Structure 1
Amino acid sequence: MLVFSLVLEDPAKMGLQERSETFLEVWGNTLLRPPVAAFVRAQADRLAHLVPEPDRLAEQLPWLRLGTLKFRERDALEAVFRFWAGGEKGPESFPIRCLWDMRLRHYLGSRYDARRGVSDWDLHMKLHDRGARVIHIREFRRWRDTGVAFELRDSSAYHVPNRTLASGRLMSHHGERVAVRGYWGDIATGPFVAFGIEADDESLLRTSNGQPIKTAGEITQHNVTELFRAMAAWGCGKAAQQDPVEVLGQADGTQEPAPSRESFTVHFLPLGSAQTLHHKSCYKGRFHLLYMACGMVHLLSPELGACVAPGGRLIVELARYLVDLQHEQLQGFTTRVAELAQAAGFAPQPGARPSETFARFYRSQDSATNCINPAVESKPSAPEVLAPKPEVLDQPPEVLDSSPEAMNLPSEDLMQSLQG
């Protein structure tokens, strides 16, 4: 919601470069510049007031639909926005520097004192060997040490914690389960592989003396800027609300209908809906594209496949850039993805180029015809949403040390997929 609000921001208020830089900082940095932090607070405060009021939400954000969310989920969403807006003052409410260092210490263990050497090894022997050669050692080290991936200004300008990276977990403290707020995102690969290792402009990928002339950060900034430029030209923002019968004047005084711009709507579904969508007949054969991240592959099932229309496509992110997986595990993961896709009624997409990054499938007509309608009349039970009391979230940092096992990334589902 925050990203869409940024993309659809009025160009008169925020230019193209400022929008792209704001996106990169919010998306890829643990620390923000004060102007970017102010933008996040303003947008979060606006969303916090709109979420509980459906009428105002539909009026001001016509592209957003929250009708399928439970009331408790809306309350939790409002609480998240209020935290982003600075409802709990002071950096101590989200000490990201401390949280990042704690995660890094637990991840590296006895290798922490040699973390620079570990960063060099992971970059050169893993990411570079897997195709991400444009990632420069300096930017990768900086991100591994501080969590700041895109340093678009002087380093001293980044000092405000990025609250959008916060999340909650239940952890053990003195024998009791308590809810704590912390950072449990990526600390191994980095955000560079998303937009920073490929480009339509081949000049960005040129090398000199065997070394790339552009860094992954520079390529990322170029790609994101071009993406925002394309979306602006496509007619996002106010153009989506314009009357399609609006006319344009021509030089000879005649008028012609303005080119209609296709509008869009984003529907937020309840938590855990991937496992319950098949219970409602309205979702059977509803979707034409299903995208799954590598950490969500375990949710790919025949029931979820039945929600994809015949001929619809399935794109699965492979684990190519997970530095903790060995070559044999990567191959096993790819094989497991193909097995799950076939069991869900998908077949390899004909004509698709071989890729180590994505696996592409399509929903075959035979599987769509032979599948049994899983829709039932009973409604699925409401998923549980973690919405702890504010005083519970304000536990001292030492609470996070009480259960080191919980500091790891949730990789159980991924390993389950690897093991079949």
Structure 2
Amino acid sequence: MTDQFGTITWWGFTPALDLQDTDTISALNNLKLDTDEGKDTLNILLIGAGDIRHVLQTIARSYRHKKRKLHFYIIETQCELYCRDLLFMSLFMEPPNRMGLQEKTELFLELYGNLLVRQQSMEYVQKMSNEMIKMVTDFDYLEKKLPFIDLSQLKFKERDFMEGIFKFWRNPDPKLFDVEKMWDLRLQRDLGVRYDTRDNVFDWDYHMRLTEREGDIIHAREYKNWRKYGIAYEPRDGNYDVPNRTLASGVLVKHEGERFAKRGFWGDMLVSPYITFGIQSEDKTLFKKNNNMYAKLSWHVSEFNILSLLHEIINKEKYVPPQIEEAKENKSATITEITEEEENEVDNKEKSDSTDTASQSNPAKDEYESLPLDDVKITFLPVMSVADLSRKSKYQKLFDIIYFSNR
């Protein structure tokens, strides 16, 4: 029915790219774009990317390049991917009064790469599903909430299907998606007689496949835990026991000569979600080694990269992490007199921080309004419509950059 790579690409198998960066995309150095001659819009077609990583990184770093409008056209193989794209764009554009940067970072990674999530994380998905149902069924509402998203090119049946997916996401019944059982059954089928020695299989895959392909920053413990349980990120202590319904999709299976749709987890069970944001970074200190071992994990790289993108979208400047005052560790203890006024200031700051954290933890208390995103448009094209583009005159010689997936 499917191999370990799956039938749907929930996460890409390559790191996120800034599609305006000529150092990354070397071919652009020899390409004379119309944008260099005064055209004010850069049209980018992404085919089968599987997620929205390239879009997020290109938008976040757009201030580093010549000012121009960005118009992304996205084609995927299944509507479930459009739904995830819509969810993650909504999450990235959450305003500060609803959710802070750190909370957005953790929630994104949790929903992006975990088979099981915390209850409060799935509650966010359920609440946003109601919003997104309105978006796909009412373009005026979409224009109000996410004015940079264009769903008008999708077919009616595709928008209806997306509405059905969002309704499934908001259904709290855990029996509808027993993902732990689905994961284990696929492991048994894919590994066969090797299932009883699966730890050795995971170890071989890690050393012979992953680390040989520039994935050595991914720790063996991280990778094996994901291969066993489907949980890549655990940013906070808590119970990760609620099925992540955003990773549910359907396939057509054949039984006794008849074909019928079967919902389950049909994504990647071999490569892992760490590749997209967790193996490369502008902050090279994340890759320092002690005794020939990385001091940080892929999780830390992913966290830094997502936090950086969120920061850059809002502030239009590179993210610089706060520096730990190492000198304090080398100094002996000293006695410092604290006045009553200073003590009150500390108490007030702690109360303020506590209040901020409390307000961030409940994004549903305020109505959703996205952050402004000027000069960006994201158009979702019909599923599997690559062949149709050449037959439509409006797409002739339109695209300046075309990205094809590696699968």
Same fold, TM exceeding 0.5? yes
Q: Structure 1: how far apart are the matches of 2:371 and 2:179? A: 36
Q: Structure 2: how far apart are the matches of 1:233 and 1:54? A: 29
- The aligned residue for residue 220 of structure 1 is 302
| Post-superposition CA distance 1:155-210 (Å, at most 9, x none) | x5101100000101111233321111111101001011111111211111011111
Normalization by structure 1: what TM-score? 0.63
Q: Structure 1: how far apart are the matches of 2:266 and 2:169? A: 17
- The aligned residue for residue 250 of structure 2 is 168
CA contact (8 A) 2:219 2:298 kept: yes
Secondary structure in 2 matching 1:279: coil
- The aligned residue for residue 122 of structure 1 is 205
Q: How does 1:175-324 map to 2 (within 5 A)?
A: 175-234=257-316, 237-240=370-373, 262-295=374-407
The amino acid that maps onto 2:277 is F
**1:25 to 2:100 alignment:** no
The Cα shift of 1:237 comes to: 4.2
The amino acid that maps onto 1:76 is F
The amino acid that maps onto 2:104 is R
- The aligned residue for residue 96 of structure 1 is 179
The Cα shift of 1:11 comes to: 1.1
5+ unaligned residues in a row in structure 2: which ranges? 1-85, 318-368
Secondary structure in 1 matching 2:371: helix
- The aligned residue for residue 45 of structure 1 is 130
The amino acid that maps onto 2:246 is T
The Cα shift of 1:265 comes to: 1.3
**1:61 to 2:146 alignment:** yes
- The aligned residue for residue 348 of structure 1 is none
CA contact (8 A) 2:110 2:233 kept: yes
Aligned residues: 271
| Post-superposition CA distance 1:351-395 (Å, at most 9, x none) | xxxxxxxxxxxxxxxxxxxxxxxxxxxxxxxxxxxxxxxxxxxxx
Secondary structure in 2 matching 1:116: helix
The Cα shift of 1:83 comes to: 0.7
Q: Structure 2: how far apart are the matches of 1:51 and 1:141? A: 38
CA contact (8 A) 2:148 2:378 kept: yes
**1:36 to 2:148 alignment:** no
Q: Structure 1: how far apart are the matches of 2:183 and 2:143? A: 38
Q: How does 1:380-395 map to 2 (within 5 A)?
A: none
Q: Structure 1: how far apart are the matches of 2:269 and 2:184? A: 10
Q: How does 1:346-361 map to 2 (within 5 A)?
A: none
Secondary structure in 2 matching 1:265: strand
The amino acid that maps onto 2:278 is G
| Percent of aligned positions that are identical | 39
Q: Which one of the candidate residues 141, 144, 147 is aligned to 2:230?
A: 147
Secondary structure in 2 matching 1:144: helix
The amino acid that maps onto 2:100 is G
Structure with the bigger RCO (C-alpha within 8 Å, sep 6+) is 2
The amino acid that maps onto 2:195 is Y
Q: Structure 2: how far apart are the matches of 1:44 and 1:23? A: 15
- The aligned residue for residue 72 of structure 1 is 157
CA contact (8 A) 2:281 2:301 kept: yes
Closer, same or farther in 2 for the Cα pair 1:53/1:179, shift >3 Å? same
- The aligned residue for residue 250 of structure 1 is none
| Post-superposition CA distance 1:264-294 (Å, at most 9, x none) | 1111101111111111011011111211111
CA contact (8 A) 2:90 2:370 kept: no
Q: Which one of the candidate residues 60, 83, 86 is aligned to 2:168?
A: 83
Q: Structure 2: how far apart are the matches of 1:45 and 1:215? A: 36
Q: Structure 1: how far apart are the matches of 2:300 and 2:144? A: 38
Q: Structure 2: how far apart are the matches of 1:158 and 1:35? A: 10
Q: Structure 2: how far apart are the matches of 1:61 and 1:195? A: 25
Q: Structure 1: how far apart are the matches of 2:301 and 2:142? A: 36
The Cα shift of 1:238 comes to: 3.4
Q: Structure 1: how far apart are the matches of 2:150 and 2:205? A: 42
Q: Structure 1: how far apart are the matches of 2:196 and 2:385? A: 43
Q: Structure 2: how far apart are the matches of 1:271 and 1:126? A: 32
* Structure 1 segments (4+ residues) deviating >2 Å: 234-240
The Cα shift of 1:91 comes to: 1.1
The Cα shift of 1:49 comes to: 2.1
Q: Structure 2: how far apart are the matches of 1:76 and 1:270? A: 12
CA contact (8 A) 2:145 2:370 kept: no
- The aligned residue for residue 132 of structure 1 is 215
The amino acid that maps onto 1:149 is A
- The aligned residue for residue 316 of structure 1 is none
Q: Structure 2: how far apart are the matches of 1:220 and 1:119? A: 22
